[in-house]
């Protein structure tokens, strides 16, 4: 069911700003590659929850599956297969290099979402 939830949308916007900041200004070996992957799962979850009213676990699983599918496309060389290897936008959206650590970062991001939602639920008295 579709229902706009501004709180999740505002979180998504804030995380998008953080992701852009990381992408533009951080050029390290830890936060940019793995912190960005961790945060993108949370951002996508918040974006999805801002418009889709569905169980937390299902949305988190769908976002994790999407992130893993993108990573698998990197492993399979999808950009080259599609002839998009020179597209900056395709590299930005789909990435270009497979890394096992990215999958771990995605899983940790999804776990953080589930934990945060559980804390939120408990603080609201189980709602």
Two tokens at 44? Answer: 């996508």
Residues forming beta bridges with residue 2, ordered by sequence position: 52
Percent of the chain's residues with pLDDT above 90 = 83
The mean pLDDT of 2-28, rounded to a whole number, is 95
Q: In the prediction, which pLDDT does 93 show?
A: 84
Q: What confidence tens digit (pLDDT) does each residue in 77-108 have?
A: 999 999 999 998 898 888 888 999 999 999 99
Is 43's pLDDT higher than 90?
A: yes
Q: Does residue 79 contact residue 91 with C-beta atoms inside 8 Å? A: yes
Q: How far apart are CA 37 and CA 23, in angstroms?
A: 11
- Specify the pTM: 0.92
Is 62's pLDDT higher than 70?
A: yes
Q: Does residue 73 contact residue 3 with C-beta atoms inside 8 Å? A: no
Q: In the prediction, which pLDDT does 126 show?
A: 67
Q: Does residue 60 contact residue 110 with C-beta atoms inside 8 Å? A: yes
Buried residues in 51-64 as b, exposed as e (16+ CB within 10 A) = ebeeebeebbebbb
């Amino acid at each position: 069911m579709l229902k706009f939830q501004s709180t999740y949308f505002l979180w998504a916007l804030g995380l998008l700003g953080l992701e852009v900041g990381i992408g533009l200004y951080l050029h390290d070996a830890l936060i940019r590659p793995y912190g960005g992957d961790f945060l993108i799962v949370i951002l996508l979850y918040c974006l999805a929850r801002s418009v889709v009213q569905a169980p937390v676990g299902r949305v988190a699983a769908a976002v994790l599956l999407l992130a893993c599918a993108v990573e698998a496309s990197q492993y399979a060389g999808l950009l080259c297969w599609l002839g998009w290897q020179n597209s900056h936008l395709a590299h930005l959206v789909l990435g270009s290099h497979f890394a096992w650590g990215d999958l771990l970062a995605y899983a940790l991001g999804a776990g953080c979402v589930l934990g945060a939602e559980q804390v939120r639920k408990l603080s609201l008295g189980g709602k």
